[in-house]
Amino acid sequence: MSKKITVDLGELQENGILTEETAAKIQAFYAVEGRSTSNRMTIAFSILGAMLVGLGIILIVGHNWDSFPRALKISFSFLPILIGQAACFYSLRNKRENASWREGSAVFLFLSIGACIAMISQIYNMEGSISSFLLSWLLLCLPIVYLMRSTLASLLFLVGITWYGADVSYGSNGVESWLFWLLYFSVFPFYYRLFREATFSNGFNVHSWVVAITFLIALGFLAVNLPVVMWLAYMSLLGIYFLLGAFFGFERQKLLNNPYRVLGALGTLGIFFFASFDDYWKDIFPAGFSPLNVFSNVEFYISILLFGLALYLLIGKGKWRDPMQLNPLSLGFIIYWMTFFIGGYSPLAAAILINILLLLSGLFYIRLGSHREHLGFLNLGLVIVTILIICRFFDADISFVLKGGLFVLLGLGFFFANYQLLKKRAA
């Protein structure tokens, strides 16, 4: 805690502005590790330092010192690992509560293991694909995450394992893809622990982003037999994200710290704008496809699972009892499932349903924005409506004069709505 705050607290207490109890609480709040800026800086620098040195070692290894005898190269390859292990040992023994030590030594060990394996495959000219290289590297590093309670090791693991998954899984359904999921979920207990113990700390927030993005990528690995069904899976996952972002304390966070809400909303809106064209429904289904085909595919059961989860979040925890409070985007995944089964028979009906939902979402955000006097929501609503209208211009046969007139009206609407809100705020 900075000296200034301590002095200020004393003064405030003397002048009777703060009670002793409150002052103690404030002191306790700032004393928690990770809250003070200087501590955060130390952690950041130790991670950065360890990363630079570790990556530097990998690059130096890449130079490939072929004038050195083999035995010397082999012993050098173990040196960084030994240093990393010693540093981890020291942090665990003497600096267990010091996040900078734990993170720094963990990251260094993580990277030096990669450098060692790279060096050995280089010495013996081993062919090894990038996926087998990543797999042995990451398997050896997984325990570091838990032993060192290292946020960054966990993040490196998540990114690495997603890379591995992309390498082995796209378009195949072998043993590797199951191994990928097992390993991917293996760091989730750590993420959960962060959620419990360090809710909405920096480490947790970055984790949320990385988890949200890598999971979106990883879901694509499951598209094997009938990729079109993955639209259902993706819409359900985005539905889960969107709803998740409204619970568990995420609803009180800034949008920057709520990746689930942001990705859920943008993803749902993005797919919906595509799906608002009836051409979309004519194009996505492969020739000879009937909605009844889906029941025999793994992709469908994955989608069902995700749909169930989203539905649980909506009904089990949701605000569905008050329809005026219900954000239409929360219903996006249900509407999409309905249209998916209609779309094959009547593209037009599907497109109309999607258009209605988009329009409702736009109106919802306009209303929310003016109700809460929030310019961001107001303009999001206006943007949704505007994009929707622009999209409809592409397929409707409307004269230029009419198009022009509508655009002028829309523009005026933007000005008017924002002006009204600002005036309301000022009053």
Binding site for other proteins (CB under 8 A): 58, 61-67, 74, 77-78, 81, 85, 88-89, 92, 109, 113-114, 116-127, 130, 133, 136, 140, 143-144, 147
Min. distance of Cβ 85 from other proteins in angstroms?
5
Nearer to other proteins, 118 or 353 (CB): 118
Nearer to other proteins, 163 or 200 (CB): 163
Q: What phi and psi, each to the nearest 5 degrees, are found at residue 320?
A: -70, -15
Q: How far is CA 104 from the centre of its chain?
A: 24
Q: Which residue has the tokens 């130096």?
A: 60
Nearer to other proteins, 161 or 335 (CB): 161
Min. distance of Cβ 175 from other proteins in angstroms?
14
**What's the rounded Cα separation, in Å, for the pair 262 and 213?**
11
Min. distance of Cβ 209 from other proteins in angstroms?
24
Min. distance of Cβ 129 from other proteins in angstroms?
10
Nearer to other proteins, 54 or 344 (CB): 54
Q: Which of 77, 174, 78, 190 is nearest to 131 (CA)?
A: 174
Cβ(369)–Cβ(265) under 8 Å? no
Tokens describing residue 345: 């028979």
Min. distance of Cβ 113 from other proteins in angstroms?
6
Q: Which of 405, 410, 345 is nearest to 384 (CA)?
A: 410
Beta carbons within 8 Å of 329's beta carbon, 6+ residues apart: 242, 264, 265, 268, 269, 361, 364
**What's the rounded Cα separation, in Å, for the pair 258 and 248?**
11
Min. distance of Cβ 301 from other proteins in angstroms?
27
Nearer to other proteins, 175 or 427 (CB): 175
**What's the rounded Cα separation, in Å, for the pair 25 and 404?**
61
Nearer to other proteins, 135 or 269 (CB): 135
